[in-house]
Amino acid sequence: MLAFAAQLAAAIENGGVIHLHGDLGAGKTTLVRGMLQAMGHKGAVKSPTYTLVEPYSINGREIYHFDLYRLCDAEELEYMGIRDYFNPQSLCLLEWPEKGEGFLPRADLHIEIRHLAQGRELCCRTGSDMGQQMLDHLVDIMGKNLDIPASLR
């Protein structure tokens, strides 16, 4: 998961919105932790389950890690000023985005994480041209470093 996270971090050139889907314990926070560390964050990375958002400033980039699991009503996002976090320069990583449906911008990239008997399966799909560029860049990077089937290249 951490190796994939590092590759994903390298594939993101600017800001964007990434929705992370998966059951409890699937590895969403681990993925975010790996991305932040690959981008240069040195401190701890905790899940913002109770605070809803944890901001990071890394090498001049604003990154926001959201965990909406405990959100009772999506409208609560309006009261916390959710729109202020989303701009073309910021990278927003959202766990449990379905809890904020109707109040969140569309995702550039969706990543679904599933447990398997051995390891995890990650499925990526795009939601915008920027997301497609991220995915293309990710496949290019991973194709050079990992054994990816030719059908994905």
**What does the alpha-carbon distance between residue 88 and residue 85 come to, in Å, rounded to a whole number?**
10
The pLDDT value given to residue 145: 53
Query: For residues 36 and 10, what is the distance between their CA atoms, to the nearest angstrom?
Result: 11
pLDDT of residue 48: 87
pTM: 0.89
User: Looking at residue 10, what is its pLDDT?
Assistant: 92
**pLDDT (0 to 100) of residue 147:** 47
Boundaries of every domain in the chain: 2-146
Name the 3-class secondary structure at 53: strand
pLDDT digits (tens, 9 = 90+) for 35-92: 999 999 998 888 888 889 999 999 999 999 999 999 989 999 999 999 999 998 999 9
Distance of CA 36 to the CA centre of its chain: 10
Do strands 120-126 and 109-115 pair parallel, antiparallel, or not at all (unpaired)? Answer: antiparallel
CA–CA separation, 120 vs 107, rounded Å? 22
Domain 2-146 fold is Rossmann fold (3.40.50)
